[in-house]
């Protein structure tokens, strides 16, 4: 059971490893994002000025009030679900991690001969204002890749996650994909003449993206941990959300440019997706789509109800003076 000291004045919420959960850190980053939206909605002739005026109070109030069960499970909180919100991104990464873990745990049990492979697909950085178009090109390229018969006839399932990083020196973006592909163990046999080596993956990604150069591709088998399980290693792909430091910097004008560009580029984009067998299992398990659903119940510990249903919840609110969560009752 997680360590949760509900009687303290300041929120103390530790994960199973004894490490404090980053409630305060994520809330502060969300406040910085809200401030950026506030500055952007005051700029004249800005395309999304009205949207940013709505986003500012939504992000500002995100996770300002938390309720916990006495055993430490989160019971209730409001989330803004804005794509760049640090709090929502953190909660979503936990949820995706749990979802991918459940899917792979089921597959490993039911299909012990399946071997997962990590695939990182990249291309050259794009110009600052071309990010949205480049993300669309990447998704279209991945769609072509999975439809390619060389891949389609052998890969029986996949999960992909988009990561976007910013290069401050060149003022460019680097959107790329982290992918998990599932193959039957026969795929790796010497008798399989259709085995895809590294050079072939480079050729396939170049063809799928319609590039005039050889892109960087990294491919490797997923290794099992000491317990013999691979699902935890695979679920690490879920830890590739947009990093807070990519968006929030000490340079406020730069921060506002990054926020404006990223908000538009990621609008209604699916950062995570299942396919093939992994999508089928996720549906059987009745899991939310990775980019959707509740951000309160994000892990296995939330599924089992413990204690009295009429228990008194422990509540915390964000104190703007202390810049921390304090207990309200």
Task: Give yes or no: residues 241 and 137 share one domain.
Answer: yes
Residues in the chain: 329
* Chain segment 131-177, per-residue pLDDT in tens: 999 999 999 999 999 999 999 999 999 999 999 999 999 999 999 99
- What confidence tier does 261 reach under pLDDT thresholds 50, 70, 90? very high
Residues 6 and 132 in one domain: no
Say if residue 309's pLDDT is above 50. no
Same domain, 108 and 37: no
98-102, 161-165, 316-320: segment of lowest average pLDDT: 98-102
Same domain, 74 and 174: no
In a domain, 33, yes or no: yes
Determine, yes or no, domain membership for 246. yes
Percent of the chain with pLDDT over 90: 64
Between CA 51 and CA 54 the distance in angstroms is 5
Number of structural domains the chain divides into? 2
Find out whether 107 and 278 touch, Cβ atoms under 8 Å: yes
For the whole prediction, is pTM greater than 0.75?
A: yes
Q: What is residue 59's three-state secondary structure?
A: helix
Say yes or no: 133 and 271 in one domain: yes
Sheet holding 65-68, edge to edge: 74-77, 65-68, 314-319, 324-327
What mean pLDDT comes out for the span 39-45?
84
Pair (27, 103) in one structural domain: no
Does one domain contain both 76 and 109?
no
What's the start-to-end Cα distance of the chain, in Å? Answer: 23
Per the domain annotation, does 172 fall within a domain? yes
Q: Are residues 284 and 254 in the same domain?
A: yes
Please check whether residue 177 is in contact with residue 162, taking contact to mean a CB–CB distance below 8 angstroms.
yes
Q: Are residues 106 and 149 in the same domain?
A: yes
Q: Say if 87 falls within a structural domain.
A: no
Q: Which domain holds residue 218?
A: 93-292
Q: Are residues 148 and 218 in the same domain?
A: yes
Asked if the structure places residue 215 within a domain, the reply is yes
| Same-domain check for residues 240 and 129 | yes
Structure tokens at 166: 């910013």
Q: Is residue 287 part of a domain?
A: yes
Q: Does the residue 86 lie in any domain?
A: no
Residue 169 falls inside a structural domain? yes
**Domain identity same for 167 and 286:** yes
């Amino acid at each position: 059971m997680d360590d949760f000291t509900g009687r303290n004045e300041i929120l103390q919420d530790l994960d199973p490893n004894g490490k404090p959960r980053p409630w305060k850190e994520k809330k502060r980053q969300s406040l910085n994002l809200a401030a950026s939206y506030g500055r952007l909605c005051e700029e004249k002739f800005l395309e999304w000025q009205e949207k940013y005026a709505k986003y500012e109070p939504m992000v500002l109030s995100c996770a300002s009030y938390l309720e916990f069960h006495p055993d430490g499970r989160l019971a209730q909180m409001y989330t803004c679900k804005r794509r760049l919100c640090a709090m929502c991104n953190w909660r979503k990464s936990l949820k995706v991690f749990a979802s991918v873990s459940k899917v792979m745990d089921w597959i490993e049990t039911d299909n012990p001969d399946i071997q997962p492979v990590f695939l990182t697909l990249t291309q050259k950085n794009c110009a600052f204002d071309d990010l949205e178009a480049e993300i669309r090109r990447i998704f279209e390229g991945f769609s072509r890749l999975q439809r390619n018969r060389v891949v389609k006839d052998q890969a029986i399932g996949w999960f992909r996650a988009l990561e976007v990083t910013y290069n401050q020196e060149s003022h460019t973006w680097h959107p790329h994909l982290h992918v998990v592909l599932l193959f039957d163990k026969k795929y790796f046999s010497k008798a399989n003449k259709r085995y895809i080596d590294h050079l072939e993956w480079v050729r396939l990604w170049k063809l799928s993206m319609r590039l005039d150069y050889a892109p960087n591709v990294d491919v490797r088998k997923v290794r099992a941990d000491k317990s013999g399980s691979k699902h935890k290693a695979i679920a690490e792909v879920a830890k590739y959300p947009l990093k807070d430091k990519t968006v929030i910097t000490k340079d406020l004008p730069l921060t506002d440019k990054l926020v404006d560009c990223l908000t538009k580029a990621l609008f209604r984009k699916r950062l995570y997706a299942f396919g093939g067998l992994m999508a089928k299992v996720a549906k059987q398990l009745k899991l939310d789509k990775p980019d959707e659903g509740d951000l309160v119940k994000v892990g296995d510990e939330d599924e089992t109800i413990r204690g009295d249903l009429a228990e008194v919840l422990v509540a915390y609110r964000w104190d703007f003076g202390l810049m921390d969560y304090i207990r309200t009752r």
